[in-house]
Structure 1
Amino acid sequence: MQDASPDRSPPEAAVLRGTNQSGMRDHNERLVLSLVRRHGALAKSDIARMTGLSAQTVSVIMRGLEQDGLLERGEPVRGRVGQPSVPMSLAAEGAFFFGLKVGRRSADLVLTDFRGRMRAARRRVYRYPTPDAVVSFVSEAAPALAGELPPMQRGRIMGMGVAMPFQLWNWVAVLGIPQQEMDAWRVRDIGTELGAALGLPVYVQNDATSACGAELIFGTGERPKDFLYFYFGTFIGGGLVMNGQLFLGRTGNAAAVGSIQVPAPGGGTRRLIDLASMSVLAEAMEAAGEPSDHLWSQHDRWEVSQTVLSAWLDQAAGALAQATLAAAALLEVQAVLIDGWMPLRVRAEMVRRTEAALLGLDLAGIDPPVIREGTVGADARALGAAAIPLSQRYLIDQNAAVREG
């Protein structure tokens, strides 16, 4: 996985006690951890077969990772011949990571363990984000989250990832907020400020790209090597995985799907963001006399009439189908994954309607991708943020030095 660059170098306090001299940047250690994360518990013989490393080398590496508290032993598996094999899996308490999602309506801070499980979370809802509000929130919430760990584990918090929309100052017209309030984002280096406040390395990445990264690192089930990812938040965003790698692009803003021009219901074209965002649903609810504020405070239950919801689903699904067709013609992606800050039943219906709309288009010369639900869910942006320092410190190119078969 490719990651944003850190905004500051990690302090000495961020280094795991007991790591060997080569540190966690050692290629083979990263490779072993990447394989165990991707495939689950593996024995030394499995690692040797998959990497081509000698059994002795693998044994030394895995023993060191076990001593560092990053791998743990499972129950021996006895075969017909020879010594029983011992599967090794990631140790959940081997390392911890903060993930911060800075949204246009709310901020979420989560603490995850080495397996990607959320251990604790805090949320703050606001009318619009400012740097001061975000720094204040993290300064209060991060110590509280760390305090939920036993004292001996707090030194294993290894960094923070920040998932946030790029160029927030350009969204004042859509959000209806004062330009001067958002211009502070032009000059404030939020990564450096948070790193100084926490004493940890901090990495900043686009929010929808981070959500896609969560699907790549923490997602369950079959993960295609090439997929386009849509995430429904206040505005729709996206990410792109090519050959098993998160594709960031030249400036880190690749797969900015919201800017794709798609046919508009009344004729002409409009941006995908104008047709398939949650803000569009909120506007329709308010126009129908239905309050929409609860959309931003919780995701699991929407109080919206079926008439308004169905109209929005049809419009959004039609726009997604058009964007998918354009992407499939250019990139030939295997799958399109749809996730977002929404109830699971709404997500499932969005997938169903998008698939139906895509199959209704002219697909001559196109091998249409499979349309699927994402597997991470509403917290994908915050979990994807936590995946950035995890990947930066412990993982490796997912296609590197692995043998097939």
Structure 2
Amino acid sequence: METGGIKLGSRELGDSRFQLGTNQSGMRAHNERLVFSLLRQHGSLAKSDIARMTKLSAQTVSVIMRELEQDGLLLREEPIRGKIGQPSVPMSLDPEGAFFLGLKIGRRSAELVLIDFVGTVRAMLHSSYLYPAPDATMIFARDGIRSLRANLSPEQDRRIAGLGIAMPFEIWNWADTVGAPRGAMDQWRSLDIRAELQAELGFPVYLQNDATSACGAELVFGRIGGLRNFIYFYIGAFAGGGVVLNGRLYGGPTGNAGALGSMPVPGVDGRPAQLIDVASIAILELALKRQGRDATFLWTSPQDWGEVGPELDRWIERAADALAYAIVSASAVIDFEAAVIDGWMPASIRTRLVETVATALRGIDVEGLAVPQVREGTVGIHARALGGASLPLSERFLLGGSTPSKEA
């Protein structure tokens, strides 16, 4: 089919666990996605390597690679000459082959990012606010998309393959928590931002929960090695996360699987609380405000918070304890290989948090459970925006796609 200027195969993929190609006719789309996925994973591969990995015939691989190269999606690299036979010619994804937009709408800030086919950030826009007002958010999105596209050549603009929106589901429920006028936040109930933008754009628009999108960014762009099954926590203004099973982002029938912010954990007073009420950065913000301090830096300077003081130490200890219990609870249901923690915070703070979680886990009775390894996320503060951009990339080019994302 022909969509958004990018030539794709003719059939959608079914089961993402099926990692072999097929030489049967009518399966071009599956085989193309398989090639793209392998090249994303390995960087560059020769046709012979792809044929060996996929069990496709050399002729089938040759036809696929030639057509994808002609479509401007693959690059031919310098030949590697051996002692015997013809030189091997590695192929890689062409960064100019496709472009993707990602829009993150958070409780305290919005971001708009443009990435290329290999995931390199070409441009990013940022807006901080006290709360996400619908009208102002739409203006930021429309003006930002227009601005980013204005800096592209006509050919690059033709190759925009989609926009992914990462935002909290039912965002109007957070009016009291973010200190926003309830009437203003209620306007989100009647605003279908995906449909509004889809009506104005000539490429697909997708929508996903912001924390789940961050999990998707770790899956697509992160340095996860061979991880196939992991639970993911993103600590932003509010804590959330996602679940990856069999190398695929899992959202469940309603898209709410991995709603980790709602997980019950021990609260500050020992009574049950939700993870979101203990591990969120909004809790640290509240503690700082109670001390009469300006906490704006938490949202405007995520790379460097400076000297925060004892409030940060207490927050890390309590958040880590809650995260440890959440990890153990999740491990009683699914045997995860790892628990990955990332967030809107400096890398040094993330390291402290992960180390404290690992320590807290050693104090919990886990008899009968295999506790996953606790690891730092590798994408960082922009994971939600990049996760938004990963939605069209995954849905249109990679094996499996992102089950819970929504498209027109």
With the length of structure 1 as denominator, give the TM-score of the two structures. 0.92
Distance 1:21 1:224 in 2: 28
Task: Report the Cα distance in structure 1 between the residues aligned to 2:105 and 2:271, rounded to whole angstroms.
Answer: 33
Aligned AA (1:290) = R
Does 2:360 correspond to 1:357? yes
- Partner Cα separation in structure 1 for residue 252 and residue 79 of structure 2: 44
CA pair 378-20 structure 1, distance change in 2 beyond 3 A: closer
Are residues 1:366 and 2:369 paired? yes
* 1:305 paired residue number: 308
Corresponding residue for residue 403 of structure 1: none
Structure 2 regions of 5+ residues with no counterpart?
13-27, 402-408
Structure-1 residue corresponding to 2:129: 126
1:161 and 2:159 aligned: no
- Aligned match for 2:5, one of 15, 31, 35: 15
Match of 1:150 among 145, 149, 153: 153
Post-superposition CA distance 1:188-214 (Å, at most 9, x none):
211010112233210000000100000
Secondary structure (helix, strand or coil) at the match of 1:145 reads helix
After TM superposition, the structure 1 = structure 2 runs for residues 46-195 of structure 1, keeping only pairs within 5 Å, are: 46-195=49-198
Match of 2:268 among 265, 285, 303: 265
Q: Find the aligned partners of 2:202 and 2:63 in 1 and give their Cα distance.
A: 32
Query: Structure 1's 223 and 231: CA in aligned 2 closer, same or farther, altered over 3 A?
Result: farther
**TM-score between both structures, scaled by the size of structure 2:** 0.91
Q: Write the distance in 2 (CA, Å) between the matches of 1:253 and 1:319.
A: 20
Runs of 4+ in 1 over 4 A off after TM superposition: 20-25
Q: Is the counterpart of residue 30 in structure 1 residue 30 in structure 2?
A: no
**Which residue of structure 2 aligns with residue 380 of structure 1?**
383
Q: Does 1:198 align with 2:201?
A: yes
Paired residue secondary structure (1:331) = coil
What is the deviation of 1:304? 4.2
Q: What is the SS of the residue equivalent to 1:275? A: helix
AA at the equivalent of 1:168? I
2: CA distance between counterparts of 1:107 and 1:360?
38
2:329 aligned counterpart, secondary structure: helix
Percent identical: 53
314-323 vs 139-148, which moves further: 139-148
Q: Which residue of 2 aligns with 1:6?
A: none
Whole-angstrom CA distance in 1 between matches of 2:322 and 2:78: 50
CA distance in structure 2 between the partners assigned to 1:80 and 1:289 by the alignment: 72
Report the equivalent of 2:406. none
The corresponding residue for 2:278 is 275
Q: Do the aligned residues in 2 keep the contact of 1:172 with 1:179 (CA within 8 Å)?
A: yes
Give the Å deviation of 1:77: 1.6
Matched, 1:325 2:328: yes
Preserved contact between residue 20 and residue 64 of structure 1 (Cα < 8 Å): no
Task: Select which of 380, 383, 398 maps to 1:395.
Answer: 398
In 1: Cα distance, 2:121 partner to 2:317 partner? 33
More deviation, 354-363/72-81: 72-81
Deviation string 1:344-370 (CA, Å, 9 cap, x unpaired) is: 000111110000101111111111110
Cα-Cα RMSD: 1.7
Q: Return the alpha-carbon distance in structure 1 between the equivalents of residues 58 and 202 of structure 2.
A: 39
Measured after TM superposition, the shift of residue 372 of structure 1 is 0.4
1:221, CA displacement in angstroms?
A: 4.5
